[in-house]
Amino acid sequence: MLRRYGHVTTLLALVVVQVPMTLLTGVMLLLSFALGMVFLFPPQTMMVRELAELNRRLVRNWTGIKIEAPYLPPPPPPVPQADGMYRSDRTLYKTPRVPAWNNRWKWLVSDPATWRDEVWLLVDPLVKVGLAPLLLLLPARGLRVYGLWSKKLLDATAASRLAGQVSHLTRTRDLAAGSQAAEMRRIERDLHDGTQARLVAIGMTLGAVEQLVESDPKAAKALLAKARDASSETLTELRRVIRGIHPPVLAERGLADAVRALAMDSPLDVTVDVSLPHRPEPPVEAAVYFAVSELLSNAARHGDARTATVDISASGAGLLVSVSDDGMGGADPGKGSGLAGIERRLAAFDGVLALHSPPGGPTTVSMELPKVLPVPWAQDLSKLPRWKSVTVMVLWATAWCPTFPQGLVAGIFKIFGVEEKTWFLALHLPGPWQWPVILGMIALGVIMHVMAIRIPASHNREKFMAEATPTKPWC
């Protein structure tokens, strides 16, 4: 309880910061747009954003209500034209400084979240003052109501989420395209340096056989045997290239058996533990397979490892992969160890990679690919429908009134004979009606509290039952 009161005190104390900041930002806005001092607008906007982000963080830590940042993605840096000049509208510049500043200014001005922050800064102190009685009497509930208010005004909108997704998909597409181009260059290099050279050598050998078949049959026979061996080596080389594109065992038997086959071919003593309730999509399987292959190869070639462990498991709809080895450690993504290529593969699926490789070892690489496994309740049942969310918010915001002021406090006044009636409804009624109304108010408040708790609980129970219901395996 003391901690809750500390949170309330901090929240109300922020009004002392917000009021002068409101005046300062108002002056900066006026100077920016009325007097043309546009250079004041970006720092003013970023100052308000910092305060709004502080509010989001405090609400998340105190109430558990997550408020996403609603801002549109920043513009990319200016790109020079063929002549080396940078264009901003119809003007050309020798350096990217002015175009970058113009793009940043337009980004801040055109972002609706910028003006929502300004409105929040202006209105929020009044909201805090209005909620002060509830915050002081019932700090937990007051903080909850304030968190819902902050989420209403400071949370991400559908447009900002969509813009963020588009920006993320653009970056992911560029990474995937770069990874695909690098893969195609590798295949081309392997075919050029290996298979193509062997085929040319076989062709030259067969040409020599044509010249010797009549004059020196014994030498021609020896060359044919040599050509046969070369063709066998070429076939092996082609199979290796094909496995590098997409191993047949991965397509036919899935990720678990493909990784076990990979472990059997590795010079290390590899332990494989795969626990997946469903088979991932083929592109996901390929990304994980080649990531594990690269890590085992690094452990053998660069880490002087003797043993390795591969663990693949599921966490809801997420796929978790861990590869550990007993090598000498010291792996660094910046030294061409192949980790950058793995990160590019994972980025196509919003995957992340974490590396722990101290000097002397051991090395552990953890990878996570979120939302890549099929889940029975993929419709996101954890999110309440809008009408339920509004109902719960209204119940929490109003249930305190009949429970306490109109119920318990009025009852205490009635018991001790306090003559002050103020705004207590029951005390203004005739004597015989006072206690029934007081008890009815308390009952109404309790029912409202129960409903506010029961609606999310029932929804979560539906989610649990849907998750626990056995389903047919995905294939």
Q: Are 24 and 40 in contact (CB under 8 A)?
A: no
Give the pLDDT mean for 338-367. Answer: 84
Average pLDDT over all residues of the chain: 81
Whole-number pLDDT of residue 377: 38
Better pLDDT: 380 or 308:
308
Provide the strand spans (E) within 266-362. 269-275, 307-315, 318-325, 352-356
Residues 44-99 have pLDDT tens digits of 999 999 999 999 999 999 888 888 888 888 888 888 887 888 888 778 888 888 88
> What is the identity of the amino acid at 60?
R
How does residue 240 score in pLDDT terms, banded at 50, 70 and 90? low
The predicted pLDDT at position 282 comes to 85
The pair phi, psi for residue 372, each rounded to 5°, is -115, -5
Q: Which pLDDT does position 380 carry in this prediction?
A: 43
Indicate if the pLDDT at residue 472 is higher than 60.
Answer: no
- Supply the pLDDT for residue 51: 92
CATH code, 314: 3.30.565.10
Same domain, 312 and 361: yes
178/356: higher pLDDT? 356
If asked whether residues 193 and 151 sit together in one domain, one would say no
Residues 63 and 133 in one domain: yes
Say if residue 446's pLDDT is above 60.
yes
Model confidence at 225: pLDDT above 60: yes
Which is higher by pLDDT, 80 or 269? 269
| 134 and 202 belong to one structural domain | no
Predicted confidence (pLDDT) per residue in 153-198, tens digit: 888 877 777 776 766 666 666 566 566 666 666 667 767 667 777 7
Domain region containing 392: 386-468
Q: Is the per-residue pLDDT at 458 higher than 80?
A: no
CB 187 within 8 A of CB 359: no
Output the 3-class SS for 11-63.
HHHHHHHHHHHHHHHHHHHHHHHHCCCHHHHHHHHHHHHHHHHHHHHHHHHHH
437 and 343, same structural domain? no
- How high is the pLDDT of residue 183? 64
* Lowest mean pLDDT segment, chosen from 109-123, 270-284, 367-381: 367-381
Q: What is the pLDDT of residues 411-438, one digit of tens each?
A: 888 888 887 777 788 888 888 888 988 9
257, 237: one domain: no
Q: Is 262 exposed, middle or buried (0-12, 13-18, 19+ CB in 10 A)?
A: buried
286 belongs to a structural domain: yes
**Is 465 or 65 the better-scoring residue by pLDDT?**
65
Nearest partner of 402 among 442, 364, 458, 353, judged by Cα: 442
* pLDDT tens, position by position, 123-146: 888 888 888 888 888 888 888 888
Neighbouring CB atoms inside 10 A of 259's CB total 26
Q: How far apart are CA 243 and CA 273, in angstroms?
A: 22
In b/e form, how buried is each residue of 93-126, taking b as 16+ CB within 10 angstroms?
Answer: beebeebbebbebebbeebebbebbbebbeebbe
For the chain, helix (H) and strand (E) counts, in that order, are 16, 7
Phi, psi for 307 (deg, rounded to 5) = -130, 155
- CA 150 to centroid of chain Cα atoms: 22
Q: Does the N-terminal peptide bond of residue 362 adopt cis geometry, omega within 30 degrees of 0?
A: yes
pLDDT class of 464 with cuts at 50, 70, 90: very low
3-state secondary structure of 267: coil
466 vs 237 pLDDT, higher one? 237
With a pLDDT cut of 90, the percent of the chain lying above it is 9
Is 84 contained in some domain?
Answer: no
Do 140 and 18 lie in one domain? The reply is yes
For residue 192, what is the domain's CATH number? 1.20.5
- Indicate whether 299 belongs to any domain: yes
On whether both 214 and 120 belong to a single domain, the answer is no
Q: Measuring CA to CA, which residue among 114, 94, 130 is closest to residue 41?
A: 114
Torsion of CA 50, 55, 58, 61, to 10 degrees: -100
Integer Cα distance of 468 and 296 in angstroms = 36
- The tally of domains found in the chain comes to 4
Opening angle at CA 269, ends 265 and 272, nearest 5: 80
What is the model's pLDDT at position 45?
Answer: 92
Nearest Cα neighbor of 68 from 79, 57, 78 is 57
CA distance 353 to 291: 10
Predicted local distance difference test score (pLDDT) of residue 272: 92
Whether 94 is in a domain gets the answer no
CA trace torsion 194, 200, 202, 204 (10° rounding): -150
Helix (H) or strand (E) holding 93: strand 91-93
In this predicted structure, the answer to whether residue 379 has a pLDDT above a threshold of 70 is no
Is the same domain home to 38 and 150?
A: yes
* 98 lies in some domain: no
Tokens of 178: 């770069």
For residues 177 and 207, membership in a common domain is answered with yes
SS3 call for 475: coil
Both 138 and 27 in one domain: the answer is: yes
Please answer whether residues 365 and 320 qualify as being in contact, where contact means their C-beta atoms are separated by less than 8 angstroms.
no
Cα–Cα distances (Å) from 318 to 290, 315, 332, 375, in that order, read 18, 5, 26, 10
Residues 11 and 147 placed together within one structural domain of the fold: yes
Domain membership of residue 219 (yes or no) is yes
Question: How many residues are given for the chain?
Answer: 475
